[in-house]
Amino acid sequence: MLKRKFGNRADWKRVLNREYAQAFVESSNFTGYITLLKIHKVENPLYVEYHGEKICIADDGYQWLQQFPYNCNHSVTTMFDSQGRIIQWYIDISAQNGVDDNQIPWMDDLYLDLIVLPTGELVEKDSGELEDAFRSGVINKELFDMAWEEFRRVRGQIERVQFPLLKLSVDHRQILLQRL
């Protein structure tokens, strides 16, 4: 069974105090939901490590913007530090994106992820989890192939500087900051 991840991250226990905003956006370069989690207080900071470098991605004052594009098999989470600088873009490959009965956006995570660092470096993540899910029957061949196809498509767009969500993240954050 796929893990459903919600834009409001209501189950994230690390975050002790937060604000949340969301909106539906329809424009020439994006149609879908955007959400912003403004983190006031965390139990403890969250660090990740890429190629031996430790990076803080969640701490007091940080913000997480999530974009759920309509009819796409990915969502993008942009992490901003307390000064509003982008730490990373985290692209989840998804089986589908949708909204629940309360209009909270969600995505069904297909394990495979692509991280874009501000330097332009790309980091592939969790391909082993995708392989394991396929081998154990959690996902079928169609979902397995679709995940890799979407991953390659998104990666290619990023490499050609044609993936609009990276540039839109700053504008989308501004839209939601006005709603807090």
pLDDT tens-digit series, residues 131-155: 999 999 999 999 999 999 999 999 9
Count CB atoms within 10 A of the CB of residue 66: 26
pLDDT at 91 over 90: yes
> What does the pLDDT read at residue 53?
92
Across residues 33-53, what is the average pLDDT? 97
- Go through the chain and tell me how many residues it has: 180
How far is Cα 123 from Cα 55, in angstroms, rounded to an integer? 13
Counting beta carbons within 10 angstroms of the beta carbon of residue 162, is it exposed (0 to 12), middle (13 to 18) or buried (19 or more)? Answer: exposed
pLDDT at 43 over 90: yes
pLDDT at 60 over 90: yes
How far is Cα 94 from Cα 109, in angstroms, rounded to an integer? 5
**The domain defined by 3-177 carries CATH number 2.40.380.10:** yes
pLDDT at 1 over 90: no
Across residues 93-117, what is the average pLDDT? 97
Across residues 36-51, what is the average pLDDT? 97
Q: What is the DSSP string of 80-134?
A: E-TTS-EEEEEEEEEEEEEE-TT--EEEEEEEEEEEE-TTS-EEEE-HHHHHHHH
Across residues 164-168, what is the average pLDDT? 96
Count CB atoms within 10 A of the CB of residue 103: 9
In order of 19, 21, 43, 92, 165, the CA distances from 39 in angstroms are 7, 12, 11, 21, 22
> What does the pLDDT read at residue 37?
98
> What does the pLDDT read at residue 38?
98
> What does the pLDDT read at residue 14?
96
Phi and psi torsions of 139, nearest 5°? -125, 155
